[in-house]
Amino acid sequence: MAKIIVVTSGKGGVGKTTSSAAIGTGLALKGHKTVIIDFDIGLRNLDLIMGCERRVVYDFVNVINGEANLKQTLIKDKRTDNLFILPASQTRDKDALTKEGVERVLNELAKDFDFILCDSPAGIEAGAMMALYFADEAVVVTNPEVSSVRDSDRILGMLSSKSRRAENGQDAIKEHLLLTRYNPERVEKGEMLSVEDVKEILSIDLLGVIPESQAVLNASNSGQPVILDTDSDAGQAYLDTVERLLGEKVPFRFLTVEKKGLLKRIFGG
């Protein structure tokens, strides 16, 4: 049985696509057959972050409209076995995703995949609602700032009222908090909310904390999910996150300011 996981946030630009690419790659690396679907109709970012934009022939909307089948449309990742991308359409028609169409595609994917990751567009309008509607679990991507936490709270409300699980009276969507762009130095200075603050406001399970990192920018510029940069702090934090998603107990890292050693303090660096 495939697990459908939506990566959502409410607020835009908090790191959903970055996280979808990293977590999807991580799940595939762990041996689970995984597909990442780009629900961001009109924008299409996932293929850029995954470095497969030149290989897009057909897209999600083509499959829904019956203009192409999944086999023709899914892009097999060249670096990671078990990993496939379903790219978004660049159509301007925001209503191109119908509930029936999305359900049919998800049902077909569910026969073949262990994990279906839905990279949601920002906001709480139709596109974001479609991305979360069929989810079994949700990764709520949040930055440690008030506006992001507020929008995550609104999305949590949607998850518990506007999803298929809610409408059918099934078990609730399992919600996970993923705190991204975390900067311990700024937290210490009181410029950002701390992990504890965010946990307390949203009161959902903490899945991961991804530090603010230059490695994310380098990775996205080179079209490679940051989780493959195993020397980087962000890459390691995403790996920990994937292991927690798979039920492993993994201690949290990168939560505090790295204390500089004596030599570093004297000589800089």
Ligand X SMILES: Nc1ncnc2c1ncn2[C@@H]1O[C@H](COP(=O)(O)OP(=O)(O)OP(=O)(O)O)[C@@H](O)[C@H]1O
Calculate the alpha carbon distances from 269 to 16, 251, 253, 264 in Å: 32, 27, 21, 6
Q: How far is the CB of 167 from Mg ion (least distance, A)?
A: 26
User: Counting contacts by CB under 6 A, is residue 14 touching ligand X?
Assistant: yes
Q: How far is the CB of 67 from ligand X (least distance, A)?
A: 25
Choose between 137 and 212: whose C-beta lies nearer to ligand X: 212
Report DSSP state, residue 1.
Answer: -
Q: How far is the CB of 92 from ligand X (least distance, A)?
A: 17
| Element housing 154 (H / E) | helix 146-161
Cβ proximity of 120 and 40 under 8 Å? yes
Residue 68-107 contact track with ligand X, rule CB under 6 A, x = bound: ----------------------------------------
As a whole number of angstroms, the distance between CA 51 and CA 58 comes to: 16
Which range of residues in 14-22, 71-79, 198-206, 258-266 is near ligand X by CB under 6 A? 14-22
As a whole number of angstroms, the distance between CA 16 and CA 24 comes to: 12
User: Counting contacts by CB under 6 A, is residue 8 touching ligand X?
Assistant: no
Strands 34-38 and 205-211: unpaired
Cβ atoms within 10 Å of 109's Cβ, excluding its own: 21
Residue in the structure block whose two tokens are 């992001």: 148
Strands 174-182 and 115-119: unpaired
Q: How far is the CB of 224 from Mg ion (least distance, A)?
A: 17
Report DSSP state, residue 104.
Answer: H
Choose between 217 and 246: whose C-beta lies nearer to ligand X: 217
Which range of residues in 11-19, 24-32, 107-115, 168-176 is near ligand X by CB under 6 A? 11-19
Residue from 106, 181, 236, 238 that binds ligand X (CB under 6 A)?
181
Please state the separation of Cα 15 from the chain's center in Å. Answer: 7
Which range of residues in 64-72, 108-116, 193-201, 214-222 is near ligand X by CB under 6 A? 214-222
Residue 149-168 contact track with ligand X, rule CB under 6 A, x = bound: --------------------
Site for ligand X in 26-55 (CB under 6 A): 40, 45
Cβ proximity of 47 and 265 under 8 Å? no
Residue from 122, 135, 156, 192 that binds ligand X (CB under 6 A)?
122
Q: How far is the CB of 198 from Mg ion (least distance, A)?
A: 20
User: Counting contacts by CB under 6 A, is residue 148 touching ligand X?
Assistant: no
Number of residues that make up the chain: 269
- Residue 34 phi, psi dihedral angles, 5° rounding: -130, 140
- Which residues lie near ligand X (CB under 6 A)? 9, 12-18, 40, 45, 121-122, 180-181, 210, 212-213, 216-217, 220, 234
